[in-house]
Amino acid sequence: MSYRDPAFLRDHIKSIIAFYHPTCIDDEFGGYINQLRDDGSIYDRNTKHLVGTCRFIYNYSLASVTLDEPAYKEAAAHGLRFLRETHRQIDGGFAWVLQNRQVEDGTRHCYGHAFVLLAAAGAAKAGIETAPALASEVYDLLEKRFWEPEAQLYVDEIAAGDWNAINPYRGQNANMHMCEAMLAAYEATGEAQYLDRAHLLATRVCVDLADRSDRLIWEHYTTDWKHDWDYNKDDPKNLFKPYGYLPGHFAEWAKLLLILERYRPETWMLERAQSLLDIALEKSWDADNGGMHYSFAPDGTILDTDRYYWVLSETFAAAACMAMRTGEDKYWAWYDKAWAFADQCFVDHEYGAWYRILDGNNKKYDDLKSPPSKTDYHPLAACYETLEAIRYFA
């Protein structure tokens, strides 16, 4: 078996979808049931997380395109209806968490709205007719409510019911996922506004902001977009906004820069992508136990030794894109190394899909394979982007 074989990658997409489908389809309340244990049993059928809903739509859309399976297109359309009819609120924003059809947390997160755009883009790729209009609607909403023209970046969080109640925190993570969504929307529609915005976001984060921190990407910023070096310093394992540099995001940005380069090539993109990926691997790979540490401090000290499923996923996707772009064998070697570790420690060969998080000794913490919002979007999309890179450079 070769991890580079397109047949392997398509089979892996199929195996991930098979773990969730059709268990995750909620025919009673609409949308999806996200919360599954390792064996596929449901432990919470009521919580509907915006990111989980969107990621399922994206997963099913990519699976429909890759595997040519009509049932997956129907499953994506099922989720898109729930997204538009239930997550979307009367003011145009999308609620963060629902309990069945009732809003539990109506906060407007930029991160969540990035995934709404990504879901619409994926659905458009799958040929769902209502998807391009939703993408356009979300772009306009973002422009009106989240975009800061002076900063040329998006704000992070806005309170429910008051578009003027903007949280002072600013972060790169939401803007990174917005870049991802804009690229996908451009691929799906060919509309220049999405590519223009992806290019601007990449330039602001990977050049303008990174140049102020040794060309590395810091996560947290003040309201006026100065590096906040103390944010969550006492909480390096914060689930959503951990302190420190995240090598997984270096790899993710490397992948996005290489995709962006295909459509609007500029000389800095490859150089920055290569630097970010090389540093991610150098700083985080555990030579003793295998796998990748999660975060490191500005002085290079490892902060969090946990291994997250998404980090390995983004790393193998970035390594594949880099190998195809540069022809350098060392990136295929890293691709194979990342996949071999994931195959041994993260992929559940009994029930399917990936475990979410392992400790520094590569052991699971629990049997919750898919807590709210996981859906295995990262490995599935990473397989898809690897296939796209192989196709593009063939």
The mean pLDDT of 149-175, rounded to a whole number, is 98
Both structure tokens of 50 = 């915006």
CB 122 within 8 A of CB 128: no
Q: How far apart are CA 335 and CA 193, in angstroms?
A: 33
Q: How far apart are CA 331 and CA 288, in angstroms?
A: 20
306 class by beta-carbon count within 10 Å (0-12 exposed, 13-18 middle, 19+ buried): middle
Q: How far apart are CA 123 and CA 80, in angstroms?
A: 8
235 class by beta-carbon count within 10 Å (0-12 exposed, 13-18 middle, 19+ buried): exposed
User: Which is catalytic among the residues 78, 199, 220, 378?
Assistant: 378
Q: pLDDT band at residue 111, thresholds of 50, 70 and 90?
A: very high
Q: Is the pLDDT of residue 217 over 80?
A: yes
Both structure tokens of 374 = 């996981």
User: Which is catalytic among the residues 227, 249, 293, 349?
Assistant: 249
Instruction: Give a yes or no: residue 1 inside a domain.
Output: no
Q: How far apart are CA 312 and CA 314, in angstroms?
A: 6
Q: Is the pLDDT of residue 236 over 90?
A: no
Per the prediction, the chain carries an average pLDDT of 97
Per the annotation, the verdict on 249 as an active-site residue is: yes
Which range marks the domain in which residue 362 is found? Answer: 6-393
pLDDT in tens, 263-307: 999 999 999 999 999 999 999 999 999 999 999 999 999 999 999
Instruction: Give a yes or no: residue 268 inside a domain.
Output: yes
The mean pLDDT of 45-59, rounded to a whole number, is 98
pLDDT on residue 151: 98
Instruction: Give a yes or no: residue 383 inside a domain.
Output: yes
Count the domains in the chain: 1
Question: Which among 357, 347, 353 has a CA at the least distance from the CA of 375?
Answer: 353
Instruction: Give a yes or no: residue 347 inside a domain.
Output: yes
CATH number where 81 lies: 1.50.10.10
Per the annotation, the verdict on 177 as an active-site residue is: no
Q: pLDDT band at residue 79, thresholds of 50, 70 and 90?
A: very high
The mean pLDDT of 370-389, rounded to a whole number, is 98
Q: How far apart are CA 258 and CA 274, in angstroms?
A: 9
Give percent above pLDDT 90 in the chain: 98
Q: How far apart are CA 11 and CA 16, in angstroms?
A: 9
Instruction: Give a yes or no: residue 261 inside a domain.
Output: yes
pLDDT on residue 186: 98
Both structure tokens of 205 = 């984060």
pLDDT on residue 389: 98
pLDDT in tens, 297-339: 999 999 999 999 999 999 999 999 999 999 999 999 999 999 9
Q: Is the pLDDT of residue 394 over 90?
A: no
Instruction: Give a yes or no: residue 169 inside a domain.
Output: yes
Instruction: Give a yes or no: residue 132 inside a domain.
Output: yes
pLDDT on residue 204: 98
pLDDT in tens, 112-140: 999 999 999 999 999 999 999 999 999 99
The mean pLDDT of 197-225, rounded to a whole number, is 98
Q: Is the pLDDT of residue 158 over 80?
A: yes
pLDDT on residue 1: 73
pLDDT on residue 234: 93
pLDDT on residue 239: 84
The mean pLDDT of 172-187, rounded to a whole number, is 98
Instruction: Give a yes or no: residue 73 inside a domain.
Output: yes
DSSP for 177-213, please give it.
Answer: HHHHHHHHHHHHH--HHHHHHHHHHHHIIIIIIGGGT
